[in-house]
């Protein structure tokens, strides 16, 4: 899976894409996008909660994280850590986290003892109250307070 980068060490990476609690569909989509965009994969680490992909390009990795959120709905978070300085320029390593929601668009969910229908999973979660029809907008940080009703 490792493809060497022109003039770069074989272990060189700029970003880590962390996939947490994701479906096989998310993994398949991620690997297809990595191939399609020509991203080099230095290594993949399998964890109990997901996968870490060590990738060759900060910008493409960030774009991939956004695409995952748009397509599957979930938490998308980017953090940067100063890696080194080169010719008076700060070089950062990004960590891009994607955590998939345990519910999908159209699912019936409970939040605060009330029942809602999941309307949208995009930049935020939009729920519609089952009885009143009132919509609420939530950040992905609040997704732990939402439980899917089977």
pLDDT of residue 11: 77
Give the pLDDT band (50/70/90) at residue 1. very low
pLDDT digits (tens, 9 = 90+) for 79-100: 988 877 777 787 788 999 999 9
C-alpha to C-alpha distance for 144 and 3, rounded to whole angstroms: 38
pLDDT of residue 146: 93
Going from N- to C-terminal start, the domains of the chain cover 15-100, 108-148
SS3 119: strand
pLDDT in the model for residue 9: 60
Beta strands 108-111 and 114-121 are antiparallel
**Residue 121 contacts residue 73 (beta carbons within 8 Å):** yes
**Residue 7, pLDDT above cutoff 70:** no
Pick the CATH number of 15-100 from 3.30.70, 1.10.3470, 1.10.260, 3.40.50: 3.30.70
- Per residue in 51-67, pLDDT (tens digit) is 999 999 999 999 999 99
Stretch (H or E) spanning 138: strand 135-138
SS (H, E, C) 22-56: CCHHHHHHHHHHHHHHCCCEEEEEEECCEEEEEEC
- Quote the CA–CA distance of 123 and 69 in Å, as a whole number: 7
Mean local confidence (pLDDT), 28-49: 94
* Position 10 confidence tier, pLDDT thresholds 50, 70, 90: low
Q: What is the pTM of this model?
A: 0.81
């Amino acid at each position: 899976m490792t493809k060497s980068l022109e003039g770069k060490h074989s272990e060189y990476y700029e970003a880590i894409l962390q996939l947490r609690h994701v479906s096989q569909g998310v993994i398949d989509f991620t690997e297809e996008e990595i191939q399609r965009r020509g991203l080099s994969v230095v290594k993949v680490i399998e964890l109990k909660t997901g996968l870490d992909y060590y990738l060759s390009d900060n910008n493409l990795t960030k774009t991939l994280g956004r695409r995952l959120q748009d397509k599957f709905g979930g938490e998308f978070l980017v953090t940067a850590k100063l890696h080194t300085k080169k010719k008076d320029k700060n070089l950062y390593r990004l960590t891009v986290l994607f955590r998939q929601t345990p519910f999908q668009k159209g699912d019936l969910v409970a939040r605060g003892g009330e029942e809602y229908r999941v309307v949208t999973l995009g930049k935020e979660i939009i729920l519609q109250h089952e009885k009143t029809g009132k919509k609420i907008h939530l950040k992905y940080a609040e997704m732990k307070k939402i439980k899917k009703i089977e």
